[in-house]
Structure 1
Amino acid sequence: MHRPLDITEAMDWESIRTMIEGESHVSGKTLHNGSNCQSECGLWICTPGKWGYHVTRDEVCHFLEGRGTYSNASGDVIESTPDTAGLFPRGWQGAGPVHETVKKACTIR
């Protein structure tokens, strides 16, 4: 993916179904989708709102734009700001308020 911050044409994926506050909407661009969806990578864009988050597969991401806070019951907090890298391990659950539209490059496996 070349110059991901310049990508404006993204596929409409859906509104988030686990909303707590607001109405976040997700779009993105898929670069790879492995057989049986066992792995995938691409660009993910999410508008502001607060929603429940449950990771079903390991996710490594590099936040490129926007701002969000992801926290779980154990007190772990990932503050996403531009140029932050993060790992959400399989089974991670919490809440993810997006304060400003987030754009991230991610790999899920």
Structure 2
Amino acid sequence: MKTAQDIVLFGRSVAQTSDTFCAPAERRISGGCQQSMNNFYSDETGQFHAGLWSGGVGAWRVKYTEHEFCTLLEGRVRLTDTAGRSVELAAGDHFVIPAGFEGIWEVLEPARKTYAVFEVDR
């Protein structure tokens, strides 16, 4: 049984992982694609993860095999699908990127978001 001590508070708990990275060169379209991720929680199956992500201005290709719920805390981003349709998101927006989405993730202004990811095929 889980207790109140098992509740993970972002910013108060120590992140399980803290990584700074760039999108792989073969996926980069523009900009430095600098990113950082602090994963605060992963479940015992390895399918569910939650944490904080931030990224600098740039654009890169994405192919989602997982479902991701996000809340944009700062900045602006644009997601464009392979047909060229796009949605622009700003601080305060809550959104889900479904598994199977392919396209471009573009950071228009330095951005920060919370994320909750469910990996479908694990």
Normalising by structure 1, we get a TM-score of 0.84
- 8 Å CA contact 1:78, 1:86 repeated in 2: no
Structure with max Cα Rg: 2
Match of 1:11 in 2: 18
CA distance in 1, matches of 2:87, 2:50: 20
- Per mean C-alpha deviation after superposition, the further-off stretch among 21-30 and 46-55 is 21-30
Give the SS at the match of 1:94.
Answer: strand
CA distance in 2, matches of 1:105, 1:97: 17
| Aligned equivalent of 2:5 | none
Equivalent residues of 2:75, 2:112 under 8 A apart: yes
Matched letter for residue 11 of structure 1: S
- Distance in 2 between the 1:28 and 1:101 partners? 14
1:1-109 matches, cutoff 5 A: 1=9, 11-17=18-24, 18-109=27-118
Identity of aligned residues (%): 24
The letter for the 2-side match of 1:62 is T
- What code does the residue aligned with 2:34 have? H
Runs of at least 5 residues in structure 2 that lack an aligned partner in the other structure: 1-8, 12-16
Structure 2 CA distance, aligned partners of 1:90 and 1:2? 25
**What TM-score do the two structures reach when normalised by structure 2?**
0.76
The answer to whether the 8 A contact 2:19-2:38 is kept is no
Q: Matched residues in 1 for 2:84 and 2:30: separation?
A: 20
Q: Give the unaligned 5+ runs of structure 1.
A: 4-9
Aligned length: 104
Mapped to 2, the partners of 1:67 and 1:37 lie a distance apart of: 30
**RMSD between aligned residues:** 2.1
Contact 2:72–2:111 (8 Å) recurs in 1: yes
- CA distance in structure 2 between the aligned counterparts of 1:62 and 1:82, rounded to whole angstroms: 8
